[in-house]
Amino acid sequence: MLRFLTAGESHGKALVTILEGVPAGLTLDFDAITADLRRRQTGYGRGRRMAIESDRAEIVSGVRHGTTTGSPIALLIPNKDWENWQRTMHVEAEMPATAGGAERPSVTRPRPGHADLAGFVKYGQDDMRNVLERASARETAARVAAGAIARQLVRTVGIEIASHVISIGSASLTDPLAIAFAQVRAISFDTPLHCADPAVEQRMIAEIDRARDAGDTMGGSFEVLAHDVPPGLGSYVQWDRKLDGRLAQALMSIQAIKAVGIGLGPAVANVPGSRVHDEIVLRQGGAAAPLPVRRPTNNAGGLEGGVTNGEDLRVTAYMKPISTLMTPLRSVDLTTMTESPATVERSDVCAVPAAAVVGEAMVALVLADAVIEKFGGDSIDELAANWRAFRDRTAARFART
């Protein structure tokens, strides 16, 4: 089983993640981990924090000479902005004499849409900074670091993962399922919003600009695709082993994600079965990988009955607008119980492209867990051998005599 935990606050000293279950013998590309962290910081509509941080993960255990040892992998991502927040976020009971930055007042006016009020009630906090610092999406940097390792693990069995932005506000691709994996992979990392259609991307930028000018924020949606996913990952035998359920939970756990769709997603409720279910036809050229049959469509998003079917995995996540508005909504000051504008924290106008990178990481982590579950092995060599044996057995079952 692959699992991970993260720790750290948005303006604390560092973020930490521990990734357990990675087999021994996986040679890591450290630059690829850094590249994914940098991608999380990009996208039109991001705030000033991205100009301060230059995220890089330091691996402090579980790797020797560039290769995983089979023991838990611990990663540390320092927060550069910590220098400006020590007087507010110090861990000692008394403020150290050398602490820098400003001593900020307690947060007592919860933001609608954020965890501020819910966390205030749940944990009995007087200062909601204790809530928002951990609830912040800054935590996702730790997920991306862990996901970058998971991405390298699933490549062992041929899986590649990419994402693209589908919509920002009312600006949206007409038919996201028509965008092939190769098109998504071909999108330049330099594009403002990582959208496959430049014309739609310009309309998305206009949506963000209007929101910024109004002191507002904007949400949207993104799709994560996984290519060359082996058939047979996941299971239909128990509710908690269904891969679509595991993917949905993973993506819903990302801050501000409010809905998840697989393949055609919610649209399956609007059309008859004859226009939803993907027909099964012979693949031209015989028993080509992964299966000698194929689907002319992929409305199921590569999953049937909670199990991968050999088609591209396609998962869409829907992100609400960010909760911090420069023109704040109405709230209540919980120290005086009087109506007051919500707290304003430094924030983004739109972070959908960044959330898409986090989505890739979460999909990679779920798929890595499913790959280990299916093919097993304490080392990468053993896992890869088990995968090749499964692939060959499957091909033989479809062979015609």
Ordered by start, the domain boundaries in the chain are: 107-398
Quote the tokens at residue 302.
């590569």
DSSP 330: E
Which DSSP category does 321 fall into?
P
Are 52 and 80 in contact by the 8 Å Cβ rule? The answer is: yes
CA distances, 279 to each of 47, 178, 244, 248, 296 (Å): 46, 17, 20, 25, 7
Q: β-pairing, 307-308 with 313-319?
A: unpaired
Q: What is the pLDDT of residue 149?
A: 98
Spell out a b/e string for 195-233, using b for 16 or more CB atoms within 10 Å of the CB, else e. Answer: bbbeebbebbbebbeebbeeebbbbbbbbbbbbbbbbbb
The secondary structure of 5-60 as a DSSP string is EEE--TTSSEEEEEEE-PPBT-B--HHHHHHHHHHHT-STT--THHHH----PEEE
Is the four-CA dihedral 184, 181, 164, 150 of positive or negative sign?
negative
Q: Tell me, what's the pLDDT at 347?
A: 85
CA 59 from chain centre, in angstroms, equals 20
Q: Residue 200, by phi and psi: left (phi above 0), alpha (psi -120 to 50) or beta?
A: alpha
Note whether 14 and 380 are within 8 A (CB): no
Q: Render 153-168 in DSSP notation, one character per residue.
A: HHGGGT-EEEEEEEEE
Look up residue 392 and give its amino acid: D
Residues in the chain where the model's pLDDT stays below 70:
48-53, 285-289, 400-401
For the entire predicted model, the pTM comes to 0.96
Per-residue pLDDT at 401: 45
C-alpha–C-alpha distance, residues 396 and 361, integer Å: 34
Residue 164: how many CB atoms within 10 A of its CB? 24
Cα four-point dihedral sign 386, 392, 395, 399: negative
Q: Thinking of the domain 107-398, which architecture would CATH place it in? A: 4-Layer Sandwich (3.60)
Helix (H, G, I), strand (E, B) or coil at 77: strand
